[in-house]
Amino acid sequence: MRSPDLLRHAWAIASKDLLVELRSRTAILSVAVFVVLVLVVFNFGRDPTAVSNIDLAPSILWVTFTFAAILALNRAFQLELENQALEGLLLAPVDRGSIYLGKLIANLVFVATIECLGVPLVALFFNVPIIPHLGPLVATIALATVGFVAIGTLFSAMTVRTRFAELLLPVLLLPFMILPLSWAALATGRLLAGRPLSEITGWLNMLAVYDLVFVILAVLLFPATVNE
């Protein structure tokens, strides 16, 4: 398969998913409300006189993104279970890799939308300065998100066809999410504390390597999750 075709098919699948979501808007609204609720609940779990906002904000940000992403990731292949849509997709003359990439792009857009909502809300609720560090912060979030969404998309293709799909995905995914999350949370903490950029380049490099390894691995392994 030529690579322009691979990307063209991937984009077709992604835009199909995004269009379905745009028309109904149920999933994105539910996850958006979920993000707001998690942030509000966090407010009760802290003592502002004991721990300063700036120390707590990175953890709050990343825990919220973790839960929201898991909710979002379950959706990608759940969509295809209705009316055996997945069988139709697999019968279409497109490469398995482009089906995976299409789902990955749709999931990334979905999770990125939630993150665009989450970051300003954390800044608002917990009074942390994000505008001065916006560039590096966005880079950190983007690098971490690609890594765990890549693995999550792969795993959700398997878990939707098991018993207890909603429960199994987080159980399988969290051990893989924690590494990029821990690096991202450390980098975010340094950024918000106004430390120089050179302190976080190590974490960003690790995130980039992690993304590269797991995106390639997921593209290679995806056919094994759908081929009979």
Minimum Å gap between C-beta 166 and another protein is 12
Minimum Å gap between C-beta 157 and another protein is 9
Nearer to another protein, 49 or 198 (CB): 198
Nearer to another protein, 112 or 165 (CB): 165
Using CA atoms, how far residue 159 sits from 16, 53, 89, 170, 186, in Å, is: 22, 37, 18, 10, 30
Minimum Å gap between C-beta 179 and another protein is 6
Nearer to another protein, 62 or 155 (CB): 155
What is d(CA 79, CA 88) in angstroms, rounded to the nearest whole number?
A: 13
Nearer to another protein, 49 or 227 (CB): 227
CB-based contact 153:71 (threshold 8 Å): no
Nearer to another protein, 128 or 154 (CB): 154
SS3 161: coil
Minimum Å gap between C-beta 52 and another protein is 20
One-character DSSP codes across 173-222: HHHHHHHHHHHHHHHHHHHHTT--GGGTHHHHHHHHHHHHHHHHHHHHHH
Site for another protein, rule CB under 8 A = 151, 154-155, 158-159, 161-164, 168, 171-172, 174-176, 178-179, 182-183, 202, 206, 210, 213-214, 217, 221, 224-225, 227-228
Minimum Å gap between C-beta 171 and another protein is 5
Closest CA to 58 of 203, 167, 208: 203
